[in-house]
Chains A and B, each alone.
Chain A
Amino acid sequence: MTATATLTLRGAARLYAGAEAPGHGEGGPASKRVIVGYGFWIFLLSDIVMFSAFFAAHAVLQSATDGGPSGGDLFHRQAVAIETACLLFSSFTCGLSAVGAEARRMIWTQAALFVTGLLGLAFLLLELREFSAMIAADAGPQRSAFLSSFFALVGCHGAHVSVGLLWLGTMMAQLLVKGFRADIQRRLLCFNLFWHMLDIVWVAIFTLVYLVGGAR
């Protein structure tokens, strides 16, 4: 029996056989870690496409203020800068949790996830304060098409952060109960990817909505 044939047989025992195969074809199905990470990336790409539709709408409607306030009248750059700092720093601590998970250090991982959650919560509260201040000043989403697109785009990101926080809490509980099992590790990997993606989208929002739009 040739070497390849033996490899195939051993591989045949599991659903996603070869543990280290890259999935390029020659070695058979990729490992579960590769499959899960890759699949989640594809999902994130589709999510980014959804954001791009909201960005496009905002770009089209940015000057459609209908005689109401524009970005320059409404945005407080300082507050948004603090928001941004919170989110960027949370991405850093999220990265630390990945390092902790790699080293299988429960306390470090949980602590890093907890700080990530706190920073995410701070970001969300700052955003809600901004929204409620705008709505109180008669600059809610019903005021103009510009504000509709602003609230939808930034709100869509905020909704993603909220879902992320829910996921984060669930993940911390799972990690506590089940430990560093292979499937838990994969989920932590996906959560990391998700959180970093939110960061990337926020960078685009900060630039296009607040900096470019704030100059109008």
Chain B
Amino acid sequence: MFGKLTINAIPWDQPIPLIAGAAVGVALLALFTWVVVKGHLPYLWREWITSVDHKRIGVMYVLLGLVMLLRGFIDAVMMRTQQAVAFHAPGYLPPHHYNQIFSAHGTIMIFFAAMPIIIGLMNFSVPLQLGVRDVAFPTLNSTGFWLTATGALLVNVSLVVGEFAQTGWLPYPPLAELPYSPGVGVDYYLWALLISGVGTMMTGVNFVTTILKVRAPGMSYMRMSMFCWTALASNLLIVAAFPILTATLIMLALDRYLGFHFFTNDGGGAMSLFVNLIWTWGHPETYILVLPAFGIFSEVFSTFSGKPLFGYRSMVIASLGICLISYCVWLHHFFTMGAGADVNAVFGIASSVIAVVTGVKIFNWLFTMYGGRIRYQTPMLWSLAFVVTFVLGGMTGVLLAVPPADFSLHESLFLVAHFHNVIIGGVVFGCFAGVVYWFPKAFGFRLHEGWGKAAFWCTLIGFYVTFFPLYAAGLLGMTRRLQHYEVAEWRPWILAAVVGVAFSAVGMLCQIIQLVVSIRDRAQLRDTTGDPWDGRSLEWATCSPPPAFNFAFLPDVKGEEPYWAMKQRAIETQHLAAAGEYQAIEMPKNSATGFMTAFFATVIGFGMIWHIWWMVGAGLVGAYAGVVWFAWRDEDEYAVPASEVQRIDGERRRAREELLARNANVSGAA
């Protein structure tokens, strides 16, 4: 009836996951009860869960990512503290639990923290920057989000029902094959990633189409903001790389479920095939994450320096260059597998070439700041820290790209320090910069600057104190993923790292306090103008938060930085451009399709993990019925009446005119 699922699937003998799971369960139950009792459920359903508005979906993505970031960070704290106490001692985490923690940490941080935040920021900003009303396929967008949420849910369910993979964040065979991982851990990994991978692929298709086909009049390619360009590059990579991940995981699933021999020891299977395939996806994946972050930094540097981005065209070429070269370097993840010196040399050189293209970007950012009037607000602090940190991480990366050096450094903590250096310094700092930068646009009030700066300094110090000692420990020969160790020389570095984690934890706390304080003081932090940072791209042309239709009139783009040009024209003439005749606007209707599809995907995934075949069948029938039900509807758009458009746009114009008058007085007085 319930396949492999019995009451003993719950780890009764392990207090840590049990207590954590119970606490999360109680908190969720309390939250849900509060929502129902207060009568917020219809609002949540109508305005968020079934919403196909790209801004709402973007916010939900970021929220999911931040919650998962917290979960992944707790895993990190457990790993660091375990290593701090496990010197000549077993520590407090038994090996099978420790293995699950480092596997879950990597999986969650990449797929369910970094990806959702990055995709969320693209969702929120790209259509606004392109000057349009929504993405190409709004319902598909919602479906992609909910499928990602399904993946996150399955990974977290594994905490209390069964177990998670003990294979590391990439389930290398033969360890991940049935004889060596007979439990459900790898199956949780497989189905969580297969389902959320479909969601990510949908996002890729949607955004490539949006950026290439849905832009405001006059918005030619070379007038798009840098963030749109990097989002395009990232989504092209998603379209071309995620199907390889899906195919590879299907092969591993076939091995595990039906006794195929793709990657097994026997039957002629080739383990090296898995390693090659997974990294053909895995290396582009790092650029899927970091390219949009580069875009965010470009926006921030130019806005907070009060200058256009330096070398815009070279930036575009560099972004697409990275997009292309990222497909030619996957082998550097396994120089030691035995491809031979010639092949290793080719891939080593290709890997170093990426540093050249990235170097172009670094110099462009420096020159953007040069001669500018720089404002050191939180987004700018993250961006400045990124330049320094990322350059350091890039240099250790070039070291690792040299095959002979890699032979002694691979699988060491030096590698761990390197990729955390580029992912935290690049992606995480970029996410935080983006969240602070676009927060006022999304919610109509800024985040508290003081707490933001406190969070920044704690996180920055925490990062350096955690990971630079790990470089040293790696050079001293300490390998990654050690549950305990006996080498005395490593000990001081590991103790230093745990101090760094404490700083990072304070940073996390500051972030949470920042959010709470900002919501409490939202009246003082209110952004009345819609342009809180003196911005340059089109998202700042509409009000904060933008109306469902974003723009009453699609902007008529005449050059680069269209909003900056509009603003300068208004300041020169002391008048806003005249409004045209308001018309009703048709917008896509809400749809429960995404939520429903994800519900059935969860049922299918859970059934597959525990071999509950009737559940899988029921889920498939339900999903099909849901799609047909969605396809059958006759009305998929609703109209915002012209009077409503006029009212909303009138308010925006009033605020803008006040701003114009206020600024005129200031410059007159000066």
Contacts and interface: CB of A to CB of B under 8 A. Distances in A.
Interface of A: 1, 4-5, 7-9, 11-18, 23-30, 34-35, 38-39, 42-43, 45-47, 49-54, 56-57, 60-61, 64-66, 141-149, 151-152, 156, 166, 170, 174, 178, 183, 187
Contacts of B262: 57, 61, 145, 148-149, 152
Given A8-B553, A39-B206, A148-B254, 10 more contacts: A9-B583, A18-B217, A29-B554, A30-B213, A38-B213, A39-B213, A46-B204, A50-B243, A64-B267, A145-B270
Contacts of A7: 217
Nearest to A149: B262
Contact of A25 (B220, B631, B632): B220
A38 B209 contact: yes
B596 interface: no
Given A9-B580, A11-B554, A35-B209, A142 B585 contact: no
B643 to A, nearest CB: 14
A62 to B, nearest CB: 10
The 3 A-B pairs with the shortest beta carbon distances in the complex, nearest first, are: A64-B268, A53-B247, A50-B243
B2 interface: no
B248 A53 contact: yes
Given A23-B212, A35-B209, A57-B251, A29 B270 contact: no
A142 B259 contact: yes
A13 B283 CA distance: 43
Nearest to B281: A53
B624 interface: yes
14 contacts: A12-B553, A14-B585, A39-B213, A42-B209, A46-B204, A46-B239, A49-B244, A50-B243, A53-B244, A53-B277, A54-B251, A148-B260, A152-B254, A166-B624
Interface residues of B, number: 69
Contacts of A156: 250
Interface string B79-93: 000000000000000
A152 B217 contact: no
A35 B214 contact: yes
Interface string B231-270: 0000000011111101110110011001111101011111
A124 to B, nearest CB: 18
B202 to A, nearest CB: 8
Contacts of A45: 239-240
Nearest to B136: A35
B407 interface: no
B444 to A, nearest CB: 24
Interface in B96-146: 132-134, 136-137
B552 interface: yes
A9 B585 CA distance: 11
B130 to A, nearest CB: 9
A30 B209 CA distance: 10
A34 B552 contact: no
B586 A14 contact: yes
A8 B273 CA distance: 53
B584 to A, nearest CB: 7
A178 B192 CA distance: 37
A148 B549 CA distance: 51
B215 interface: yes
A8 B217 contact: yes
A54 B247 contact: yes
Given A9-B583, A13-B586, A30-B213, A144 B251 contact: no
Most chain-B CB neighbours within 10 Å: which of A18, A27, A142, A166? Answer: A142
Name the prevailing secondary structure of the A interface residues. helix
Given A5-B556, A15-B586, A43-B205, A28 B243 contact: no
B219 interface: yes
A23 to B, nearest CB: 4
A4 B246 CA distance: 46
Interface in B129-184: 132-134, 136-137
Given A49-B240, A49-B243, A61 B273 contact: yes
A4 B558 CA distance: 11
Given A47-B243, A57-B277, A145 B269 contact: yes
B45 interface: no
B592 interface: no
B19 interface: no
A18 B553 CA distance: 13
B261 A148 contact: yes
Given A53-B277, A170-B628, A28 B217 contact: yes
B279 to A, nearest CB: 12
Contact of A29 (B132, B624, B632): B132
Contact of A50 (B213, B246, B581): B246
Contacts of A64: 261, 267-270
Contact of B554 (A8, A47, A57): A8
Contacts of B69: none
A54 B220 CA distance: 38
B296 to A, nearest CB: 23
Contacts of A34: 213
Given A26-B217, A39-B136, A57-B273, A146 B268 contact: yes
B214 A29 contact: yes
B617 interface: no
Contact of A13 (B137, B239, B583): B583
Contacts of A147: 261
B267 A12 contact: no
A46 B215 CA distance: 23
Contact of B208 (A11, A42, A50, A141): A42
B216 interface: yes
A141 B133 CA distance: 50
B258 A29 contact: no
Interface string B585-624: 1111000000000000000000000000000000000001
Contacts of B585: 12-15
Contact of A142 (B214, B246, B261, B277): B261
A141 B243 contact: no
Contacts of B241: 49
B220 A26 contact: yes
B218 interface: yes
Contact of A30 (B204, B214, B250): B214
Contact of B133 (A15, A42, A142): A15
Contacts of A49: 239-241, 243-244
Contacts of B134: 15
